[in-house]
Chain A
Amino acid sequence: MATYDLTPRIAPNLDRHLVFPLLEFLQERQLYPDEQILKAKIELLNKTNMVDYAMDIHKSLYHTDDVPQDMIDRRLEVVARLKALEDGAAPLVTFLQNPNAVQELRADKQYNLQMLNDRYQIGPDQIEALYQYAKFQFECGNYSGAADYLYQYRALCTNSERSLSALWGKLAAEILMQNWDIALEELNRLKEIIDSKSFSSPLNQVQSRIWLMHWSLFIFFNHDNGRTQIIDLFNQDKYLNAIQTSAPHLLRYLATAFIVNKRRRPQFKEFIKVIQQDQCSYKDPITEFLACVYVNYEFDGAQKKMKECEEVILNDPFLGKRVEEGNFSTVPLKDEFLENARLFIFETYCRIHQRIEMRVLFEKLNLNYEDGERWIVNLIRNSKLDAKIDSDTGTVIMEPNQPNVYEQLIDHTKALQGRTYKLVGQLLEHAQAQPAR
């Protein structure tokens, strides 16, 4: 089932450190051989400073206690560099650790810089050192430290480019620490900057958006409110364009969010068009499911796709998040997805039928008769469905809904009055203005 795995397409758009959770997940699901994943991990770690971790993985990969010399060398180097950076940033760090001193800072950046320079001899060099130090901390895997320093750095930094990259760093750190609320805040901040900043080329802007969307997946599928927010973000024209041009695989997440959302959204129809258009550039069972239900009206096909979707969700690092409940581990999103998908099929099916045999219907929905009948009765009772059950023949009969002619007429003419009224108002206004001339 590795065919629908998106990790290779997602990973290039993530920070090195953000790829680890994905690899962990894949290891757990055993989609790929263990060895391969461990090798990938070492590869990832080689460019970071988390040498100890790399050593551990090396040991478990080759089942030895020996560690290659270059790793040991690298470790020494890293420690030395850490020391140097720590010294460089020391004055500022001590200042920031002193709560009394920090209180002297004000909202005004210029003032702060001036004050630091005058009273503590902390100049731009030290502030720059703080940035480097924070970066190094992040590379070493000390995310909380990095997040703190980056926060402080942003308060003092005047260079907007640097500030932006500090923000990216902060976001990554928060995601890795799983502080979803804070991460969401940072995300929004970053989004605003990306949207408002003038980029040297539109290409860079699109790239930034793509990154942002990839990173946001961590947040949205973990945050309580994430599933509505992912639609808000991804479905904006600019972002949707970016998805369509450069990262169509993100459609999977947007599609899932649309399906899982209880509330039908007005944008849904537009989204179906997007799916239809992009079928040639990207498809997986989830988007195909939507295409079956809303484009081709193939209900048998939809049902087949639904089964495949289950597999896909379980194997997706973002969608297949597990929740442990006692001895069971469930994937809440999967159940929700299936339930809603069933509703989707049923809704559409009912719209075009006037009489449906229940047995066939339940087959299509993967339900047994008893459950199905209860389900339908509930729908009818909650007045979601305008229908009656004929238990004699075992069918559901839809109530025809003909628009009332009079209602239609009233609808048509209602607006006219207002318009004419306004028109006359305009005319009078004009007429009054005329004599004055």
Chain B
Amino acid sequence: MSSSNHKALNAMKQKLKKNNKQYEELINKYRENPESEEEKFEEEEEEEDEDESGSELEDPSQIPESSDEDDEGEELDDDAGDGAWEKKLSKKEKLMDREFKKDPSEITWDTVNKKFKEVMAARGRKGTGKFEQVEQLTFLTKVAKTPAQKLEILFSVISAQFDVNPGLSGHMPINVWKKCVQNMLVILDILVQYPNIVVDDMVEPDENETQKGADHDGTIRVWGNLVAFLERIDNEFFKSLQCIDPHTREYVERLRDEPLFLVVAQNVQEYLERIGDLKSAAKVALRRVELVYYKPQEVYDAMRKLAELSGDGEKDGDETKVEEARGPSSFVVTPEVVSRKPTFPDNSRALMDILVTLIYKSGDERTKALAMLCDIYHHALFDEFSIARDLLLMSHLQDNIQHMDVSTQILFNRAMAQVGLCAFRVGLIAEGHGCLSELYSGGRVKELLAQGVSQNRYHEKTPEQERLERRRQMPYHMHINLELLEAVHLISAMLLEVPNMAANSLDAKRKVISKTFRRLLELSERQTFTGPPENVRDHVMAATRALCKGDFQKALDVINSLDVWKLLRNRESVLEMLKAKIKEEALRTYLFTYCSSYDTVSLDQLTKMFDLSDAQVHSMVSKMLVNEELHASWDQPTRCIVFHDVEYSRLQALAFQLTEKLSILAESNERAVEARIGGGGLDLPLRRRDNQEYAPGTGGGGRWPDVSYNQGRQGGSGRTAYSGGGRPMALGQASRDRSSGQSRGTGGYSGRSGSGMRGSQMDASARMVSLNRGVRG
């Protein structure tokens, strides 16, 4: 360093110190809370620097040029872009710049290495500017002597770029992110060009490993972990989407960067597959899957088009970058070997299939579970209900989802919600309800789907919890529309519950299919005046009131007027399906409600009333007859339904009540004794639960040969007993059971009975719990 330069540097340092004193407060504030003002501040600083250097020295852009001339015109091209770029160099950088430019021929591997070590040693130390470090390192990549060295330095550049963002909650500045992606691509270029370079993070490589030149044969080991970097980049992308307000232009701009990431991911995956590291490739594939699985075909097509477009646009960007790189000598020139454009199959299913198969073959357990859930979600999105259901059931994910980490559980909830929507779209109401009812049972849908934070009156969250929760949120474009979800849930509950209520009108508490729906209905019935429906809930309630009377037309009109339907792709067919279902359920409800007023009903009258065909009505009614829901039979010659009214006398009805109460008594006696003497009370509810689920199968065997009757005929009372032990336990782990209950809520039958069971538990739980405690205490 020449003496004049040295002097200048010192003067500069002094001045900076003095200058900073004025802003001390601001600086301190910034250090405390770096992410908020980071960029602004950074810019400010830079400006200051420039200002000062401008006043102190001559035009800064001339320095390098003059030094160049001293060095007999190096390979530098002095084009305009170069100058502009130089201007942004920080002070220190410039120094280094000069140091290297002074005598390029003298730059050896050693000098670069020494400098590299020096810069790296400063990492994390107080007073080391993070941007500065990135720039220093970027410069070093240009003077690196061997590809391996360049690679090593590039890895450090990326780490340094990650360092730029302090704290966990903020996201990396977007321009840094983009540079980071470009660096990743350069790394891949090098790796592809020199297949003898191996990236490894297991062994500490030899000090001078990177000294080996490009022509070295034999493997060169460089420390680094591609997958970790890639995942970090993805996380940063995700975080930035979480932070940016989804209603701004910025969000959309940010979303357009997605293909950029997909390119890197694709290339990394290809590279890993080539070197045979399938396990890591699977991890990368998962990241790609996570970007694709929630996209319907239209969105996918849009993304493809964007990728093609931006491929061209990107080239320009690349060119400028290349120019930059040309600036201060790249000793190791890396041609662009890997493609800069993502390739997509026409069909998102095809892409999913390729990726998912790879993951299933070679991923680890968690990766596989996540991929499976994405796969299920994607199938459900494309109305492939049976495939999605089979995958869900065969993977046994429901059984152990509560033991998995929270993000997997969220994905599981999302998949369940999507499967529920899908079931509804294809007309499987009961299945759809089974999938969705668990989601709605706690009133915490937003939280369960990570689409917003729901306030809970009774349970204050600590700031820590809140922060965690905020970090889990899904970005806006991945959201499942909550209104649609609610509409689907309530409508399917309505279709199941209304006939059910009509059938069991006398003992309303006996069989509840959807507790949530019942509660809402009670609420709306309690209102003195019912205004015209406003939100989804009001609409469904209005429809319910009509349906209870068997007025299918009005119910249909109300449902049709919901505007969430426009979110559905095949809106017409779904509404058509809904119409048929509503008619059917209206027929059932009508029969249940008014059967006591009729002696006979003719088939023709019913067909006219509900606008259904003869065959449909006949088949529906027959089904009800066979299932003994309706005590009647057909009279074939006259085409009539003849009702057999079974009227119990008062004495008989009372006798039935008595027997029911007796069995409840016996049950609670058994429980009491069991709690007292039989082994711990906990295995009892468990066994009960088993008994219930497989009531017909196992009820007869085991320790309680005679329980089966009770379970079969009179589930209600049996269940109350179980709930005494079972429920509090579940409540105790409320924070953990985000999705635990869902395990049983799927496949057609179990879903239905499962939710029914749950409903009745709640009603009686209070009473039974206190009883239980009395016994134990």
A residues sitting closer than 8 Å to B (CB atoms) are 245, 273, 277, 280-281, 296-298, 300, 348, 351-357, 360, 393, 395, 398, 400, 402, 405, 408-409, 411-413, 415-416, 418-420, 423, 426-427, 430
Q: For A412, what are the chain B residues with a Cβ–Cβ distance below 8 Å? A: 656, 659-660, 663, 709, 713
| CB-based contact B655/A353 at 8 Å | no
Q: Which of B160-168, B312-320, B550-558, B631-639 contacts A (4 or more CB under 8 A)?
A: B631-639
Q: With A393-B637, A395-B637, A409-B659 given, is the CB distance from A245 to B394 under 8 Å?
A: yes
Q: Would you list which residues of chain B between 595 and 648 have a CB under 8 Å from chain A? A: 615, 618-619, 622-623, 625-626, 633-637, 642, 644, 646, 648
CA separation between A215 and B686, bound complex, in Å?
A: 41
Cross-chain contact of B644 among A280, A298, A402, A420 (Cβ < 8 A): A402
CA separation between A353 and B748, bound complex, in Å?
A: 29
| CB-based contact A352/B626 at 8 Å | yes
Q: With A245-B394, A423-B669 given, is the CB distance from A298 to B634 under 8 Å?
A: no
Q: What would 8 A/B residue contacts be, using CB atoms closer than 8 Å?
A: A297-B618, A297-B619, A354-B642, A360-B636, A395-B636, A400-B633, A402-B646, A416-B662
Q: With A412-B663, A430-B677 given, is the CB distance from A348 to B636 under 8 Å?
A: no
Question: Does B734 belong to the interface (CB within 8 Å)?
Answer: no
| CB-based contact A355/B710 at 8 Å | no
| CB-based contact A419/B670 at 8 Å | yes
| Interface SS of A by simple majority | helix
| CB-based contact A277/B626 at 8 Å | no
B363 vs chain A, min Cβ distance (A) = 15
Q: For A419, what are the chain B residues with a Cβ–Cβ distance below 8 Å? A: 666, 670, 704, 706
| CB-based contact B673/A297 at 8 Å | no
CA separation between A418 and B676, bound complex, in Å?
A: 20
| CB-based contact B635/A409 at 8 Å | no
B residues sitting closer than 8 Å to A (CB atoms) are 386, 390, 394, 615, 618-619, 622-623, 625-626, 633-637, 642, 644, 646, 648, 652, 655-656, 659-660, 662-663, 666, 669-670, 673, 676-678, 704, 706, 709-710, 713, 748-749
Q: For B676, what are the chain A residues with a Cβ–Cβ distance below 8 Å? A: 430
CA separation between A430 and B674, bound complex, in Å?
A: 11
Given contacts A352-B633, A360-B636, A430-B677, could you give 13 more A-B pairs where the C-beta distance is less than 8 Å? A296-B619, A352-B626, A356-B637, A393-B637, A409-B659, A412-B713, A413-B659, A415-B709, A416-B659, A420-B666, A423-B670, A423-B673, A426-B677
B706 vs chain A, min Cβ distance (A) = 4
Cross-chain contact of A353 among B619, B636, B709, B710 (Cβ < 8 A): B636
Q: For A348, what are the chain B residues with a Cβ–Cβ distance below 8 Å? A: 626
CA separation between A360 and B638, bound complex, in Å?
A: 12
A-B complex: 4 closest residue pairs judged by Cβ atoms: A297-B622, A415-B706, A354-B633, A352-B625
Q: With A355-B636, A405-B648, A412-B663 given, is the CB distance from A426 to B673 under 8 Å?
A: yes
Cross-chain contact of A352 among B622, B663, B678 (Cβ < 8 A): B622
| CB-based contact B619/A356 at 8 Å | no
Residue of B whose beta carbon sits closest to that of A244: B390
Q: For A354, what are the chain B residues with a Cβ–Cβ distance below 8 Å? A: 633-635, 642
| CB-based contact B642/A420 at 8 Å | no
| CB-based contact A416/B663 at 8 Å | yes
B512 vs chain A, min Cβ distance (A) = 23
CA separation between A245 and B391, bound complex, in Å?
A: 10
Q: For A400, what are the chain B residues with a Cβ–Cβ distance below 8 Å? A: 633, 644
| CB-based contact B615/A298 at 8 Å | yes
Q: For B625, what are the chain A residues with a Cβ–Cβ distance below 8 Å? A: 351-352
CA separation between A148 and B384, bound complex, in Å?
A: 51
Q: For A416, what are the chain B residues with a Cβ–Cβ distance below 8 Å? A: 659, 662-663, 666
Q: For B390, what are the chain A residues with a Cβ–Cβ distance below 8 Å? A: 245
Q: For B656, what are the chain A residues with a Cβ–Cβ distance below 8 Å? A: 408-409, 412
B70 vs chain A, min Cβ distance (A) = 71
Interface centre among A245, A273, A415 (most CB of B within 10 A): A415
Q: For B713, what are the chain A residues with a Cβ–Cβ distance below 8 Å? A: 412
B703 vs chain A, min Cβ distance (A) = 10
CA separation between A360 and B639, bound complex, in Å?
A: 12
Q: For B660, what are the chain A residues with a Cβ–Cβ distance below 8 Å? A: 412
Q: For A430, what are the chain B residues with a Cβ–Cβ distance below 8 Å? A: 676-677
Q: With A297-B626, A405-B652, A419-B670 given, is the CB distance from A355 to B709 under 8 Å?
A: no
Q: For A427, what are the chain B residues with a Cβ–Cβ distance below 8 Å? A: 673, 677
A401 vs chain B, min Cβ distance (A) = 10
Interface centre among A348, A354, A408 (most CB of B within 10 A): A354
| CB-based contact B634/A353 at 8 Å | yes
Q: For B659, what are the chain A residues with a Cβ–Cβ distance below 8 Å? A: 409, 412-413, 416
Q: For A296, what are the chain B residues with a Cβ–Cβ distance below 8 Å? A: 619, 623
CA separation between A351 and B621, bound complex, in Å?
A: 13
B377 vs chain A, min Cβ distance (A) = 20
| CB-based contact B636/A356 at 8 Å | yes
A369 vs chain B, min Cβ distance (A) = 16
Q: With A298-B615, A398-B633 given, is the CB distance from A418 to B706 under 8 Å?
A: yes
Q: For B636, what are the chain A residues with a Cβ–Cβ distance below 8 Å? A: 353, 355-357, 360, 395
Residue of A whose beta carbon sits closest to that of B630: A352
Residue of B whose beta carbon sits closest to that of A281: B386
